[in-house]
Chains A and B, each alone.
Chain A
């Protein structure tokens, strides 16, 4: 059965720390891996990854996909309290998009 596993499930850091969130997957007919940030209700899109080894960056956030290892990481440098959220990984195959349970990140001042 297809699955998406994220780790850690929760993480507490202090402002300025760097964090790495992990996502591994077992999906037939892989098409894409997406990262979302969920603060209150609607998840908001961060990155879409389809090719191995190409880093996507947006400000302090970056992500990379390793299709050989069936995994991806999301890095956040110089964390701020506004980064506190649930970070969701989703993997798309030919039919649908399946989400992991998420990593709850708490950034303390």
Chain B
């Protein structure tokens, strides 16, 4: 399978714990996006990378959130001191640049904070 891969598929954690999600984009894609989606809403933009550079961060991304893409390949999204309001589906998507902006999505990581 050469699509976008996300791990884990599900994560249940207790409030206050740290969690880390991983995204492996399609190998030739330069851009990698993180979105958060709650029930009944469209995906909300969190951040994106062009290769290893993090080019934009949404104000939704509090200082408890950090994302990295150290070698311009896979990316991690860490949430520290999780809160119940962090419960959501975290979607990763990738695209090639500069012409094709079609995003290819992973299946997401469903986070539940108890």
Contact = CB atoms under 8 A, between A and B. Distances in A.
Nearest to A50: B101
A45 B107 contact: no
B65 interface: no
Contact of A102 (B33, B41, B55): B41
A108 interface: no
Interface in A28-52: 31-32, 34, 36, 41-45, 48
Interface in B49-69: 55-56
Nearest to B103: A97
A6 B42 CA distance: 10
A41 B43 CA distance: 11
A34 B103 contact: yes
A88 B43 contact: yes
A43 B42 CA distance: 10
Contact of A97 (B33, B106, B107): B33
Contacts of A97: 33, 45, 93, 101, 103
A45 B41 contact: no
B55 A95 contact: yes
B48 A96 contact: yes
B45 A98 contact: yes
A102 B35 CA distance: 15
A36 B101 CA distance: 13
A31 B108 CA distance: 26
Given A48-B102, A96-B48, A101-B40, A42 B91 contact: yes
A1 B40 CA distance: 22
Given A34-B103, A99-B44, A99-B45, 9 more contacts: A4-B42, A42-B91, A42-B106, A43-B105, A45-B103, A95-B48, A95-B56, A96-B56, A99-B42
